[in-house]
Amino acid sequence: MAELPELETARRDLDKDLSGKKIKDVEVIGPVKQIVPGATKKALSDSLSGMKIVDVRRVGMLLVMGIGDEQSFVIDVGPTGFLQRTASSDVIDDRTQLTIGFTQGGELRLLDPGDGARVSVVATENLEEAFPEMLPMGFDPIEEPMSWTAFGQLLVPQNRKLKGLLMDDSFVIGLGPIYSDEILHAALLRHDRIGSKLITQEIRRLYRAIVETVHNACKHRGVSIGDMVDVFGESGGYDEYIEVYGRVGERSRNGRGDVMQSRV
């Protein structure tokens, strides 16, 4: 499952690679879900064909492509989906749900071995109405940075365990099992500490760990745990900086003993 650093890496790559490109054709191959009630595969294709991509943004964990006329093409890759830039002649993977061809050549493909990926063309101003379950959105360490004191004000009312709190998109955007473990380790905090019980020094450590972990992971283009790769099929470089996730029983990189696991 891609977390915030992997999705942000994809956004940056696609914004640089696709902005200004004109969509030639669209083919919906699999059962990718569409948000607009009553929408058909043909309607989706017709609404995108001939449009030029203005930019690629990220709203929470949604990728939003501006396509002109105040319209946006929205992609929710879901828990198991991912995007790939390919040549038009490349063999289509069995997991492919959607292909977008460009007049300048090449394709963008949405792959998903499950059925959680969703796409939609919506009026940009109606984005929140089309995806109400994605809101309210929490702290976005990349798009909407805040001070540690503002973060503390969000944390103090939270009578929840830190592990679950970090993985809740209404508190912090896009953190899953990988980065929540890494953040808690960096902050020197147990997973079962209660948010409202943290003292000032601990709040500052947690805030710093969130910001630094996410930004460093983006700098190294995310992780490649499992079969995760970037939009060009390349592995991320953050794996070698992972301190605890998936490393139970291994020697700590800081030399302070072996990595141990506690049941959440």
| pLDDT tens, position by position, 219-229 | 999 999 877 89
Higher-confidence residue of 218 and 225: namely: 218
| Tokens matching residue 141 | 């360490």
* Cβ–Cβ under 8 Å, residues 5 and 218: yes
Q: What integer is the mean pLDDT of 55-70? A: 94
Q: Which pairs with CB-CB distance under 8 Å and at least 24 residues apart come from 50-54? A: 50/22, 50/23, 51/22, 51/23, 52/20, 52/21, 52/22, 52/23, 53/18, 53/19, 53/20, 53/21, 53/22, 53/23, 54/19
Q: What is the mean pLDDT of residues 8-37?
A: 89
Q: Which range is least confidently modeled, 24-38, 119-133, 183-197, 211-225?
A: 24-38
CATH number of the domain at 148-241, out of 1.10.150.120, 3.30.470.20, 1.10.8.50, 1.10.1060.10?
1.10.8.50
In the chain, the percentage of residues whose pLDDT exceeds 70 is 91
Q: Please check the confidence at residue 37 and state whether its pLDDT lies above 80.
A: no
- What is the pLDDT at residue 216? 98
Q: Which CATH superfamily is domain 4-134 in?
A: MutM-like, N-terminal (3.20.190.10)
Asked if pLDDT for residue 259 goes beyond 60, the answer is no
pLDDT of residue 264: 54
Q: What is the pLDDT of residue 31?
A: 76
User: pLDDT tier at 87 (50, 70, 90 boundaries)?
Assistant: very high
Higher per-residue pLDDT: 129 or 259: 129
pLDDT for res 132: 81
Q: Return the percentage of the chain with pLDDT > 90, whole number.
A: 73
Amino acid at position 76, single letter: D
Which residues make up the CATH 3.20.190.10 domain(s) of the chain?
A: 4-134
Predicted confidence at residue 51, as pLDDT, reads 96
Q: What is the mean pLDDT of residues 68-76?
A: 91
| Predicted local confidence at residue 2, as pLDDT | 86
- pLDDT, position 149: 97
Tokens of 122: 């919506």
C-beta of residue 142 within 8 angstroms of C-beta of residue 181: no
Encode pLDDT of 98-121 as tens digits: 999 999 989 999 999 988 888 999
Q: Is the pLDDT of residue 256 over 70?
A: no
Domain with CATH 1.10.8.50 in the chain: 148-241
Quick one: average pLDDT of 56-83? Answer: 93
- Give 108's Cβ-side CA count (13 Å radius): 27
- Residue 208 and residue 6: Cα distance in Å, rounded? 20
Q: DSSP labels for the chain?
A: ---HHHHHHHHHHHHHHHTTPBEEEEEE-S--EESSTT--HHHHHHHHTTPBP-EEEEETTEEEEE-STTEEEEEE-TTT-EEEEE-TTSPPPTTEEEEEEETTS-EEEEE-SSS--EEEEEEGGGHHHH-GGG-S--B-TTTS---HHHHHHHHTT--SBHHHHHT-TTTBTT--HHHHHHHHHHHT--TT-BGGG--HHHHHHHHHHHHHHHHHHHHTT----TT---TTSPPPS-GGG--STT-TTSBPTTSSSB------
Q: What is the pLDDT of residues 134-160, one digit of tens each?
A: 666 899 999 999 999 999 999 999 999
Q: What is the pLDDT of residue 40?
A: 82
The confidence score (pLDDT) of residue 249 equals 67
Q: Using the predicted structure, report yes or no on whether residue 263 has a pLDDT greater than 60.
A: no
